[in-house]
Amino acid sequence: MNGVRFFLAHLTRRQDILQITLRFTNTLVLAEHTGDKLNPITLNAVNAASRLGEISVLVAGTNITNIAEQVAKVEQVKRVFIADHEKLKHRLPEYIAKTVETLQKQYKFDYVVAGASTFGRDVLPRVAAQFDSAPVTDIVAIHSGDTFTRPTYAGNALCKVKTSAPMKFLTFRGTAFKPAKESGGNGKIEKAPDTDFPFDGVEFLSQELPKSGRPDLQNAKVIVSGGRGVGSADHFKIIYELADKLKAAVGASRAAVDAGYVSNELQVGQTGKVVAPELYIAVGISGAIQHIAGIKDSKIIVAINKDPDAPIFEIADIGLKADLHKAVPELIKAL
Amino acid sequence: MRALVAVKRVIDYAIKIRVKPDKTGVIKENVQHSMNPFDEIALEEAVRLKEKQIVKEVVAVSLGTSKSQETLRTALAKGADRAIHVEVEEAIAERIEPLLVAKMLRKIAEVEKPDLIFLGKQAIDDDYGQTGQLLAGLLNWPQAMYASVIEQESDKTFIVTREVDGGRESIRIKIPAVISADLRLNEPRYATLPNIMKAKNKPLVKKKLSDYGIELAQQTLILEVTEPPVRKSGGFVEDVPSLVMKLKEMGVV
């Protein structure tokens, strides 16, 4: 049935039929935001979801009118639900999931989707469980209304799946879909149905979100990453210097994180962030499969390593066999 | 307090996997398997809580073919007290999805009445990253996913630090709760030879899905498994000036 809906929605450009079709394919996108800023992955999710049907977006939190207004202007967005409640302030998955569940029971969306970020991965399966639906997570390609491709084995295999879940709960990998335009939309803003929050099993205490002033890893056009080869936390400053020169974000391999050179949120790879910048510069990174999984959709990969047999060179567009402690300062000077 | 730990047998993380020529999956025969690395971390945390005398008993659970018993023996050697193996045939194992695992774990939780259920944050084969959240949803328990620090606060509460995008956050959860382990949580121990020997005598019960009243239901059908497009090496440049020149030619700097 969903396949048919998808077919109609996409092969028919006649407005009347389109509307009849879309009435049956409603998609809810969960907006991700920090309280005062919309997380860009929401735009990637909206764009991916626009291929599945008419888009509604849920903005949940406290004092979120600004975010809702921003979302309403996003191209393709038809409706924005605001769920403003003290319990949603810190966007804990238990409470967000309950809000989504209430909304879903009332509106029976065909799809409930989000970006494949911590937020989306946390919330979506919890809701899906309430509807006896198996989610499809980390989608990188949409083939039809029920058929998707997702990477498995750290990106070493691509798996095409067809879901027969009664309701479709999906997360989209941000780097695999272009962001929706932030203007051109004219979504109607309305209040989400009231939700009861009797659950009190969890309580937010604090958060620590270091601000670097550098671009965010997942949206950066250029990323400079360091690995164990950098040698120490102190030596990592040449990575920051090179990044500053290129207005780049800083990343790291798991080895560098484990060695304590940088903190965890900079980790790029299967279990860290998946990135796809225009230029990825891997410095002192050998290129374990788990790291490669997170970078292989980058446009250009540059590797600087003194070991010519390092696996990173097998996928790098430009390789430089050199001591990074000499090459990186030289590179900073030359740029 | 009782801890339940879900462990999965997967192809070893260091193996370069190969896709089957008929595109039905990846080659698993004669390939080194081991415990999913995140599950090792989850198990280690449960065992450490036992060593701190916060947890009295650690029960390891695995759903899979007869070979999953090896994984459970490893769990016992690393400090689990007993194990439950829910055995399925190979053909069925291929069709198991996170929702089914979550449903089974819910049933086991109803019998075993754990206070904490530990899982890895994702299995490195399917890379789904769903089971913990699905289970917490089914049980309506709090979920502390991507945990990097777990501290008992009182008889009924734990403070958990979670690795989230952009940093970390700290939450208070009431037991019973579901916790998934991030890489940062701990450094799992190796099983020593004496402990491996002792593990052979620890109880391991065999169950079937039907013992828990669960039937195989597969909502996500795998149509095709393929190799991702291969990135080719562009070769080496001599020195830094030629690197800069090439980057300029490409228009990226």
Which pLDDT belongs to residue B241?
96
Note whether B127 contacts A270, CB cutoff 8 Å.
yes
Residue A155: which of B134, B136, B228 has the nearest Cβ? B228
CATH class of the domain comprising A26-191:
alpha beta
Question: pLDDT value at position A24?
Answer: 59
Q: Which residues of A touch B222 (CB under 8 A)?
A: 159-161
How many Å separate Cα A57 from the centre of its chain? Answer: 16
B209 in the Ramachandran plot: left (φ > 0), alpha (ψ -120 to 50) or beta? alpha
| Sequence ranges of the domains in chain A | 26-191, 222-334
With 0-12 / 13-18 / 19 or more C-beta atoms within 10 angstroms meaning exposed / middle / buried, residue B35 is buried
Is-contact B211 B69, C-beta < 8 A? no
Chain B residues whose CB is inside 8 A of the A279 CB are 247, 252-253
CA distances from A95 to A20, A90, A122, B135, B137 (A): 34, 9, 11, 16, 11
Q: B2-226 — its CATH code?
A: 3.40.50.620
Q: Which two tokens stand for residue A303?
A: 């590797």
Cα A110 from Cα A117, distance rounded (Å) = 21
Residue B204 reports pLDDT greater than 70:
yes
Q: Global pTM?
A: 0.91
Dist CA A323 CA A292 (whole Å) = 21
In this predicted structure, what is the pLDDT of residue A13?
44
Is the confidence metric ipTM above 0.90 for this complex?
yes
Q: What is the pLDDT of residue B97?
A: 97
Check A134 against B99: CB less than 8 A apart. Answer: yes
Q: Which amino acid is at B73?
A: R
What's the pLDDT at A19?
A: 43
Residue A288 counted as an annotated binding residue:
yes
Alpha-carbon distance of B85 to B61, in angstroms, equals 6
pLDDT at A16: 43
Predicted pLDDT of residue A5 = 53
Local mean pLDDT, 10-residue blocks, chain A (335 residues): 50 44 76 93 97 96 97 97 97 97 96 97 98 98 97 95 97 95 96 94 93 85 97 97 96 95 92 92 96 94 97 97 97 95
Whether residue A189 is annotated as binding a ligand: the answer is: no
Choose the closest CB to A121 out of B129, B171, B247. B129
Cα–Cα nearest to B55, from B83, B85, B80, B84: B80
> Is the CB of A152 less than 8 angstroms away from the CB of B121?
no
pLDDT at position A25 is: 79
Q: What is the pLDDT of residue B157?
A: 98
Question: Looking at residue A75, what is its pLDDT?
Answer: 96
Is the CB of A174 inside 8 Å of chain B's CB atoms? no
Residues of A in contact with B183 (CB under 8 A): 254, 264, 271
Average pLDDT over residues B72-96: 97
Q: Is the pLDDT of residue B86 over 80?
A: yes
Give me the residue spans of the domains in chain B: 2-226
A51 is in an annotated binding site: no
Q: Any chain B CB within 8 A of the CB of A114? A: no
Q: Which CATH number fits domain A222-334: 3.40.50.10860, 3.40.50.170, 3.40.50.1220, 3.40.190.10?
A: 3.40.50.1220
In Å, what is the CA distance from B107 to each residue of A128, B69, B103? 18, 20, 6
CA B11 to chain centre: 12
Backbone angles phi, psi at A324, to 5 degrees: -65, -30
Q: Can you give the pLDDT at residue A238? A: 97
Measured torsion, CA atoms of residues B194, B200, B201, B202, in degrees rounded to the nearest 10: 100
Contact present, A180 and A75 (Cβ < 8 Å): yes
Give DSSP secondary structure letters for B36-96.
-HHHHHHHHHHHHHHHTTS-SEEEEEEEESTTHHHHHHHHHHTT-SEEEEEE--HHHHTT-
DSSP A52-97: TSEEEEEEEESS-HHHHHHHHTSTTEEEEEEEE-GGGTT--HHHHH
